[in-house]
Each structure stands twice: as C-alpha cells, then as structure tokens.
Chains A and B, each alone.
Chain A
Amino acid sequence: MIAALMTKKEWITNNVRRKNLGAHVLGVTAFAGGHIAVHWLMPSGQVVQDNWDMHGLEFPSLTVELPEMAWDEREIHDVFGYRPQGHPDLRALVRNPRWPDEFYPMAGLNAPQKPPWREVAPNNPEQTVEGEGVTIMKVGPTHAGIIESGHFVFSIIGENILHLDLHLFQNHRGVEGQLQGRLIGSVAPLISRICGADTVSHQTNLAMAVEEMAGYQVPDEIKWQRILLLESERILSHLNDLAQIPAGVGFSVANQKALTMKERWQRGLTVIFGHRLLFDTVHPGKSLAMDTAALGALITQLQREWRPWRSLVQGHHGFQDRMKGVGMVRQSDALRFGGQGVVARASGLTFDARQLMPLYHGWHVDYASETSGDVSGRFKVRLDEVEASWRLMQGVLQRYQIHSALPFWEPPTDLIGQAATFSESPHGLNAHIVAVDRGKVIRYHVRSGTFRNWPLLSKAVAGNAVGDFPLINKSFELCYSCLDR
C-alpha cells in the first residue's frame, strides 16, 4: 500500500467526510499483518478505500463519530485481536467464553485450525436494565419455531420492552477463515451457501470480483441473466417475508396464500434455473441455458395470483391497524446506523444499491420508498418491490435473446488482485472484499445487508409491547447466517 502516513485525526475526518458526502460503507476490513481498509461506495458509484497501517495491535476507532462501525470494529477485535482505540463498547460480539484466550483465528495468513474450546457455557455478559419492576426475559438461542438460532435478552417493565440485548453469532462457523488459502476457483459452492436467502447476491459479488480482477467484460446476455436471477431472488425472499408478517399477527389466510405463491415461484424457478433456492446459478463469465418463455409465463401466472392477495392484505383493516406505529425506525437512526435495504427505505431513505450497480445501467427500475418507518412501511416497501421486480424482469425478457454462441471464458488460475464488489440483496447492500494472490484467497470479507440492520432492530423494539416482538422481528426478517458466517 502506497499511502502517505495519516494521523489519527485525519483517519477520522476522512471517513466522516465520506459519510457526510452520502457514501455507504461497504466494509471495514482487517488484514493479517496489521492493516485496516474502509471501503466506501460513493454516490457517484465509485468505490474508494481508506487505509490504516497499524504499528502494534491498535488502530483508531471510528465508532464514536460513525456508530455504524461499532460491530465491524468489535468483530475485528474478536477475530484478529486488533484493538480499536477509543471504542465505547468492546464487549465480545463473535467470541464467547469458550474461545481460548490466545485464539484469534484471522490473525494469521492461513486457514485457522480448530482450537481446544474451553469447557464452559458460551454465554457472554448481558446488558440489562436494573430497577424496581424490571423483568429480564431471555429467548433462544433455540426457538419455538423453524427459525435460525440467536439469543435475545429483553429487559421489560410490565408489557413494554425497555432494552433488547442481542447475542448473535451462535451460528458462527468461521467461513472467512475457511476461505483463507483456498483457490478462488473453488470457493463458489461455499459462497453460494453463506446465506440461503441472499445466495444470488453473494454469488454475483464473487463472480463480479473474479471478472474485475481478471479485467473481463461480460457479454450483455450474461448481465441480463444476472438481473433476472437477482430479481427472482428478491421476489422469492420478499414473498417469504410477506408471508411471515401476517403470521406474526395470526392472519393465517394471508400467510398461507403467500406461502403458496412462494412455493409456485420456487417450483417455476427450479424448472428454469435448476434449484429451488437458486444455489449455484451464477458463475464468473458464464450463463445458464434458460427457457425465457417459461419465465415470462411464470411471472404472468404469479401476477394473477398476486393481485387478489394484495387486495386482501391491503383491504384488511385489522391487519393494517396492527402494523401501524409498531416497531418504528426513525430516519435519523437509519442514517446514523447505516441501515440498509427495506428497513432503510421504509424510513424515508431512498438508497438502493441497484442505482449504482453497473449491471443495472440502462434499465428502468421503480424504486420503492415509504416514510412511516413502522411495520406497515416495511410491508408496503416489499409489496411495491415485488411488483417493480416483475416489471423489470418483463422488460429484460423482452430484449433477451441469445446470439448463436457466447464467448467461452475461464478465469485465469493465477489471478492476482483485490476487488470490492457489491449488490442489492433482498436484505440490502451486500459487499464482498476479496484479495487474491496467484489464484489463492488471502482475504475474503463478507459484509451483508443484515449486518447493518441488526443494531436497528434493537432500537426499533424499545418502547413496544413485548408481544409485538415477533411482528417487528418478522418485518425486519434479518438473516442470521450471513451475519454470523
């Protein structure tokens, strides 16, 4: 890295200036050997990088000025052992008491070995409210339904939530460590399974990173297919979430009908793309054989089923009332904590990474945005986005035609370079920071949309009735897997 030595003050002002210019942080990435990089997505679409080279094991924390960095820096502290100087809350985020003291899995260049875990419970200290009449209610990590694992510690008074302390990373597998030293050409199945709900977005980020490092421009047909896959995934995920929100208030008819649409959509996608969840569908420089007529017919079929369902949920006053004013996210909080995706767009922010993705250049997308910031806002944004995605797909399908033969391209096996790629997953801005040397991964950092939204969930539930937690939680519908990795 050729960078003039920066002072701590310059490091902070530089990064704060980018935020004030309207940039979005893609990732705060630590590298073995004492290097920190902050990648910013500027409003122009350009990705810029600020670098800090450490002397010793400390680096200046940005969290006081940019609270959205709080979890990034805590994670670095946990897995690298680098200390963010001046961080106001350095409780363990990823680690727990079972981790041996000297075990910092990402501090070395190679894939980390399994440590001798300590024979204690994995529970970290809890942050609770103390006082007369305050009750502590703990939920998880295993749950009473079919849900991913996470542990929630509520401080409640009467019916009302005073504070929610999140204990996530129960599903931490060590994926970024596992990727270390692997051939970049062999990581696709793993990247495809970082998250069962945002898989296409993760696969696309990997493909774009490989193509960028190799300097390969993909043909239009491949770009169009990626748009179709990304939008198919958005619809799949939104249909799921739109089914879960009515379930959160016992509106079974709306729940079952939406699950039915999801199932039909999945069955159709299986015929067209070969997998019910779209795993293993995006590959660097390649496209899949695809029946475009079948995809067009599938969209029309779903739209027919969708219209009466939308009338049902929008015309149901009881359901609408249950969503209003519940689980509010203030616009200022969404901005300050770097909220992403549906959560941010329901709180008056208008950012959607597709606006800046070169992949979508030249395509018209109707971007959704609401200002209410409550469950009903997040529900409405998803409704509008499903319809907008179908329209976009129909536009792409009209132009889609495969010329006789696409050029054959294989990524070079001795790839060298670094890339920061991003896409708009169903859960928001999803970024990958990838560094490769002679074909081998030296660092692979994944920062998914949910990472930015989990702290906001904690803010949104405070002041609400504890009985509304499932509803608020469903309206965020954050995945645990691509947070925990």
Chain B
Amino acid sequence: MGKSIQVLQLRHVDAGSCNGCEQELTALGNRFYDMQHSGIDVVASPRHADGLVVTGPVTDTMKRPLMQDWDAVPEPKWLIALGDCAAGCGVFQGAYACYSGVASVRPPDLVIMGCPPLPQDILRQITVWRKTLD
C-alpha cells in the first residue's frame, strides 16, 4: 500500500447513529479492551487518520460532512462501517431522511455488523482485517 502502518488511526463520524455504537467504540478505550495496546486509536483529526469509522445509516444532513471528512483523510485510506445501520441493515432503513448505510456514499473496506457490535468483535474484526492490508 506504500505506507507502512504500525498503528491504525481512525477518525469517528456519526452519521445518524443511536449512540449505541458510540458507547461500544468508547468502551474499546477502557482497560478491558485497551485498543491502543492492539495498535488501534481514534484520533481527533481526519488529517491524522488512516481512515474513517462510520456509524449510523447516513442521514441526508450528515452526507456532506461525511464526504468532507473522507476527502480530508490522506491516501492511502480505508473506510469502516460500524454496526448494522452503517452496514445497511439497521432499523432506520427506509426512513425518509436516511440513506442505506455507508455504501450509499462509497463502498466500505470493512463492515462490522451488530446492533451494536460487541467490543471484542470490533477489536477482533479490525485486527484480522488489518493483516490483509500488508
């Protein structure tokens, strides 16, 4: 990929989530999961990030801010859809102000399902998927 990544730095974007996926993503920072120990971090700026982790079905209002954040991430970059809503199979499918998940903006590189996904599943799936990047 032309860029050796030892720590995967992600910027979080909520695009219409219920706050469930946010809580579990936050839990990854507690001492039970300690994602930094596994080489995963959530960073403050898309400029510092290797990719986005997106929650929610993508509301119409959040579509542009999401694309702007994506454009601000330097190449090479990856897009992760976290949770059923972002995966396009959540309960808000069909609501008038929603799209059908992250794929309606751009095909995600990794989809983590669950409502919300368990913290250990998020950690394991990102870890396994990262190995495919080298």
Contacts and interface: CB of A to CB of B under 8 A. Distances in A.
B64 A171 contact: no
B32 A197 contact: no
Given A122-B60, A122-B64, A146-B22, A174 B96 contact: yes
A263 B32 contact: yes
Interface in A218-275: 240, 256, 259-260, 262-263, 266
A149 B15 contact: yes
Contacts of A479: 19
A481 B17 contact: yes
Residue among A96, A105, A149, A197 with the most chain B CB within 10 A? A149
Contacts of B14: 142, 147-149, 171
A29 B116 CA distance: 31
A276 B30 contact: no
A88 interface: no
Interface string B20-34: 111111110111100
Given A117-B60, A263-B30, A263-B32, A197 B23 contact: yes
Interface of A: 96, 98, 105, 111-115, 117, 121-122, 141-149, 169-175, 177-178, 189-190, 193-197, 240, 256, 259-260, 262-263, 266, 276-277, 279, 479-481
Contacts of A111: 94, 96
Interface residues of B, number: 45
Given A149-B65, A259-B29, A178 B95 contact: yes
Contacts of B89: none
Contact of A171 (B20, B62, B115): B62
Nearest to B69: A142
B13 interface: yes
A148 B19 contact: yes
A122 B44 contact: no
Nearest to B85: A193
A276 B24 contact: yes
A111 B12 CA distance: 31
Nearest to A267: B32
A148 B59 contact: no
Given A171-B59, A171-B62, A172-B97, A260 B22 contact: no
A277 B27 CA distance: 12
Nearest to A179: B95
B61 A98 contact: yes
Contacts of B29: 259
Nearest to B28: A146
A196 B22 contact: yes
Given A142-B13, A196-B18, A481-B18, A175 B95 contact: yes
Given A122-B61, A174-B98, A195-B18, A146 B92 contact: no
A195 B13 contact: no
B13 to A, nearest CB: 5
B12 A146 contact: yes
Contact of B59 (A143, A172, A194, A277): A172
Given A178-B95, A193-B115, A260 B16 contact: no
A85 B26 CA distance: 44
Contacts of A148: 14, 17, 19, 22
10 contacts: A122-B60, A122-B61, A146-B25, A148-B14, A148-B19, A173-B95, A193-B18, A196-B116, A277-B23, A481-B19
A256 B32 CA distance: 10
B91 interface: yes
Contact of B96 (A115, A149, A193, A480): A115
A478 to B, nearest CB: 11
Contacts of A114: 96-97
B66 interface: yes
A61 B69 CA distance: 40
Closest 8 CB pairs of A and B: A196-B20, A144-B44, A196-B19, A174-B96, A178-B95, A174-B95, A259-B30, A174-B97
A51 B115 CA distance: 39
Contact of A263 (B11, B12, B27): B27
Contact of A96 (B27, B30, B32, B61): B61
Nearest to A280: B115
Nearest to A169: B61
Residue among A142, A143, A148 with the most chain B CB within 10 A? A142
A190 B96 contact: no
A317 B94 CA distance: 51
B42 interface: yes
A20 to B, nearest CB: 36
B40 interface: no
A259 B30 CA distance: 6
Given A146-B42, A260-B30, A173 B98 contact: yes
Nearest to A113: B96
Residue among B21, B56, B62 with the most chain A CB within 10 A? B62
Interface string B39-57: 0001011000000000011
